[in-house]
Structure 1
Amino acid sequence: MTITETPDILPRILDYSSRADPYPLYAELRRTPVALQEDGSYVISTYRELTDILHNPHLSSDVRNLSRPMPGVAERATPAFLNLDPPEHDRLRRLAMRHFGPPHTPGLVIGMEGDLTATVNGLIDEFEDKERIDIVDDFAYPFPVTVICHLLGVPREDEPRFHGWVNAIIDSINYNPRTDPEEKLTHGRQATQDLRDYLRGLLEQRHGRPGDDLLARLANDDGPDGRMTDEEIISTANLLLVAGHETTVNLITNGMLTLLRHPETLQRLREEPDLIVPLVEELLRYEPPVHIIPWRAAYSDITVADTVIPKGSQIMLMLASGSRDPDHFAEPERFDPDRKDNQHLGFGSGIHLCFGGPLARLETQIALNQLARRLDRPRLVADPPPYRPSPILRGPIHLPVEQS
């Protein structure tokens, strides 16, 4: 058994001072593919080891399998299927997918293309007389929250309420008991409860009233796996609102920042709009919205790269590091939309591959294509821009851009 400790690198990655460019630290971390931390947890940072463990049936996503509780997690209500293991995970994911994508609703996402384009262009229309815009506040935030709320059946006038709830929940996910005030955790718990109460109220209105929105479909459909309970529906809706919205905001913002840093690619996209499909895949590798899966647990002892991870240990998966592993990707530090066989980890891998990935891809493709086409000689105001606090869901909190 090989056990190597790298206790100094992870705190530097998590420190806010590294948020703008954590990639050199990831390169240091990859020297030890499986690194034991001072608290007894393990960090995995290389592509091969990440893909191996993400497909390992002994890896658990259920917090109840950790040998010691995590603050702010064990107390949460009915978990979404993202935080469950088979067979519970498989049943709930199948029930959700019946109404979100193939094979039962194969045209749902692509059928939204017209509405998505209209929403994007409506937002960009507001930029016409502005010399300076904030890609986050003026575009990347309102676009996906409008889409998710429409899918779920949330009234348009209630959309602004989600901003505060989502921010507080994301902050609580990053809670560090050694450095953060207790209020951060308390606010996150309250936001989680407020959001669940709101969704419960919407769901109660859907029972016995079939409709086209996702809440109505889940509340009234009996498929081969039966029907979700109300608490399971609420957890699934909560997952879509928080995880789906936040990752898409970051993907769009990271994408625009990358294009502005590579003006030759921005110009090429204007001339070749079909480039957008491989370009978004390269963004998912090069500047992904999710950098870290902060915890998984070992069902039993797991051997990874000659290291035995004991049963019940917390495991942290550094997805963004794996997607820049030079042992798997040629010239990984280069942004290359022509990259072939781009098997990145931008949406994870294995049974928990991102549920909303097809929608996030389409939203980002439409958003970046229209921004590239319609913005008039955009220029970054600050580089690097200010970043969100989170090292897990990483992206700029603001992206000010000037246009002629």
Structure 2
Amino acid sequence: MTQAILRQIIDYSHRADPYPLYEELRKTPVYHDSDGPFVLGKYYDIQGLLHDPRISSDMRNRKAAGDPLGEADEESALPPAFLRLDPPEHDRLRRMTNRSFGPPHSPRRIYEMHGELEGIVSGLIDGIEDPERIDLVDQVSYPFPVTVICRLLGVPREDEPRFHTWADIIAANLDPAPGADRAERDKVANNARTELGMYLAGLVEERRKKPGEDMLSQLAASHGPDGAMTTMEVLSTAALLLIAGHETTVNLITNGMLTLLRNPGVLQQLREDPKLAVPVVEELLRFEPPVQLIPHRTTLADIEVRGVTIPKGASLWLVLASGNRDPDRFEKPDRFDPLRGDIQHLGFGSGIHSCFGAPLARLEAQLALSELARRLENPRLVEDPPPYRQNAVLRGPRHLPITCDGIRP
């Protein structure tokens, strides 16, 4: 190839359809050129490395030199969230966070939000004023998960618009526009992080004095077997839940509706049977995952994969979306088929860093897509492909213009 395949993957011109590049990548299961990271695109290799303790997520271990896609400098006062830590720090913080989020300590938290989530997404659809001009991102798939995470954390409803603003600025910095002033964007994003941290600090202080049933109260006041989180750990965890969870869910819902509109037969089936939303979302996580790849992992020892030695200290990229379409793992992988019998995808990763918010993201996508399928009359894409975000990691349309004949009650 005339250009390194990894550089093509992150080139915006391939954003609308990177899958032919992933197919090319799989022909060289352990891809490496002289000035870049090691890149893997086969399902079983990726799955194995996601469970391998010799792979580090800690930024302090990372050798980013030579990576064609660097990360923005974050001059944040907040410590790294558990997503960017290794055991034992990662395990301690993840256990402490999970006490207030899921089983075994809070097994019904997500289930009991079902009615509230239905109300939020229904209200957003009710608010669509012109059925002929809908931007699904701006009107549904973006505001829905931000509103949900605010309710989950216990952010007062009158403050939700402030969270929308902060989340938008911080997310935009992950998605730089060509030719943008990077230093200025970093400055604006760091200011937003600081404002978010100060706001959260005030909420944490209130919750410690007068805890409620919300997740922020439990993070701030809980004293389990691992002790209590420090204030800074609570702040970094809350910021992670707000930003990381929100970003992936926006893409999941938007990619989902785009895929359904390209597959009208499945859309009609979902309209007639809302229970189909469960396998639809699982197949979407395989077919069009919101997180396409995991960059910037570091090897802590020499690792051999398919006869190739990846040396200690190497930068490693795992292309989840390529593994999800590996024909050695899935039959007819380029076909969108919610009724396929085996959808053990990599859409939420795997291993100790598997997506913490997966139960909530699944439920949000199921409710949003089933409600959109039921209520939008004859929905159609205005342009295909739609305009995509710049980001190659969190891949999804920046806008999804659609039109329909009306909105059912």
TM-score, length of structure 1 as denominator length: 0.94
2:378 is aligned with what amino acid? R
Aligned to 2:51: 55
Aligned to 1:278: 279
> C-alpha separation between the residues in 1 aligned to 2:259 and 2:171?
24
Displacement after TM superposition at 1:58 (Å): 0.4
Displacement after TM superposition at 1:169 (Å): 2.9
Aligned to 1:208: 209
Does the aligned pair in 2 maintain the 1:7–1:37 contact within 8 Å? no
> C-alpha separation between the residues in 2 aligned to 1:184 and 1:30?
35
2:263 is aligned with what amino acid? H
Aligned to 2:82: 81
- Alignment map for 1:210-289 (pairs within 5 Å): 210-289=211-290
Does the aligned pair in 2 maintain the 1:285–1:346 contact within 8 Å? yes
Displacement after TM superposition at 1:29 (Å): 1.0
Aligned to 1:11: 7
Does the aligned pair in 1 maintain the 2:75–2:190 contact within 8 Å? no
> C-alpha separation between the residues in 2 aligned to 1:164 and 1:22?
30
2:41 is aligned with what amino acid? S
**2:402 alignment partner, SS class:** strand
> C-alpha separation between the residues in 2 aligned to 1:47 and 1:389?
25
Deviation track 1:54-112 (CA, whole Å, cap 9, x = no partner) reads: 01010011011124576545755311111111111111111001000111111111111
Aligned with 1:31 (options 16, 27, 30):
27
Aligned to 2:39: 43
**1:383 alignment partner, SS class:** coil
> C-alpha separation between the residues in 1 aligned to 2:36 and 2:176?
18
> C-alpha separation between the residues in 1 aligned to 2:138 and 2:314?
39
Aligned-residue Cα RMSD (Å) equals 2.2
> C-alpha separation between the residues in 1 aligned to 2:64 and 2:75?
13
> C-alpha separation between the residues in 2 aligned to 1:196 and 1:303?
42
> C-alpha separation between the residues in 2 aligned to 1:183 and 1:204?
32
The alignment of Structure 1 onto Structure 2 pairs a total of residues equal to 400
1:282 is aligned with what amino acid? E
1:322 aligns to 2:323 (yes or no): yes
Aligned to 1:298: 299
Identify the range of structure 1 (106-115 vs 159-168) with the bigger mean alpha-carbon deviation: 159-168
Displacement after TM superposition at 1:181 (Å): 3.3
> C-alpha separation between the residues in 2 aligned to 1:40 and 1:294?
12
Would the alpha carbon gap of residues 145 and 174 (structure 1) be closer, same or farther in structure 2, given more than 3 Å must change?
closer
> C-alpha separation between the residues in 2 aligned to 1:243 and 1:256?
21
Would the alpha carbon gap of residues 155 and 372 (structure 1) be closer, same or farther in structure 2, given more than 3 Å must change?
same
> C-alpha separation between the residues in 2 aligned to 1:188 and 1:128?
32
Deviation track 1:202-241 (CA, whole Å, cap 9, x = no partner) reads: 2122113121111111111111111111111111111111
- Alignment map for 1:353-392 (pairs within 5 Å): 353-392=354-393
**1:25 alignment partner, SS class:** helix
Aligned to 2:106: 105
2:210 is aligned with what amino acid? R
Runs of 4+ in 1 over 6 A off after TM superposition: 175-180
Aligned to 1:66: 62
Would the alpha carbon gap of residues 386 and 176 (structure 1) be closer, same or farther in structure 2, given more than 3 Å must change?
closer
> C-alpha separation between the residues in 2 aligned to 1:347 and 1:6?
33
- Alignment map for 1:341-360 (pairs within 5 Å): 341-360=342-361
> C-alpha separation between the residues in 2 aligned to 1:183 and 1:14?
22
Does the aligned pair in 2 maintain the 1:293–1:318 contact within 8 Å? yes
Does the aligned pair in 2 maintain the 1:7–1:38 contact within 8 Å? no
> C-alpha separation between the residues in 2 aligned to 1:178 and 1:37?
27
> C-alpha separation between the residues in 1 aligned to 2:317 and 2:335?
26
Would the alpha carbon gap of residues 65 and 75 (structure 1) be closer, same or farther in structure 2, given more than 3 Å must change?
farther
Aligned to 2:197: 196
Displacement after TM superposition at 1:125 (Å): 1.4
> C-alpha separation between the residues in 1 aligned to 2:253 and 2:57?
27
> C-alpha separation between the residues in 2 aligned to 1:363 and 1:174?
23
Deviation track 1:293-329 (CA, whole Å, cap 9, x = no partner) reads: 1211111222222222222221111111110111111
> C-alpha separation between the residues in 2 aligned to 1:399 and 1:305?
41
Identify the range of structure 1 (324-333 vs 60-69) with the bigger mean alpha-carbon deviation: 60-69
> C-alpha separation between the residues in 2 aligned to 1:170 and 1:131?
28
> C-alpha separation between the residues in 2 aligned to 1:66 and 1:265?
43
Instruction: Report % sequence identity.
Output: 59
Does the aligned pair in 2 maintain the 1:6–1:37 contact within 8 Å? no
2:57 is aligned with what amino acid? S
> C-alpha separation between the residues in 1 aligned to 2:198 and 2:302?
39
Identify the range of structure 1 (153-162 vs 361-370) with the bigger mean alpha-carbon deviation: 153-162
> C-alpha separation between the residues in 1 aligned to 2:352 and 2:279?
24
Would the alpha carbon gap of residues 112 and 12 (structure 1) be closer, same or farther in structure 2, given more than 3 Å must change?
same
Displacement after TM superposition at 1:164 (Å): 4.2
**1:243 alignment partner, SS class:** helix
Deviation track 1:349-371 (CA, whole Å, cap 9, x = no partner) reads: 01111000000000110111111
Does the aligned pair in 1 maintain the 2:62–2:296 contact within 8 Å? no
> C-alpha separation between the residues in 1 aligned to 2:166 and 2:2?
35
Deviation track 1:271-294 (CA, whole Å, cap 9, x = no partner) reads: 122111111000000011110112
Would the alpha carbon gap of residues 233 and 166 (structure 1) be closer, same or farther in structure 2, given more than 3 Å must change?
same
**1:160 alignment partner, SS class:** helix
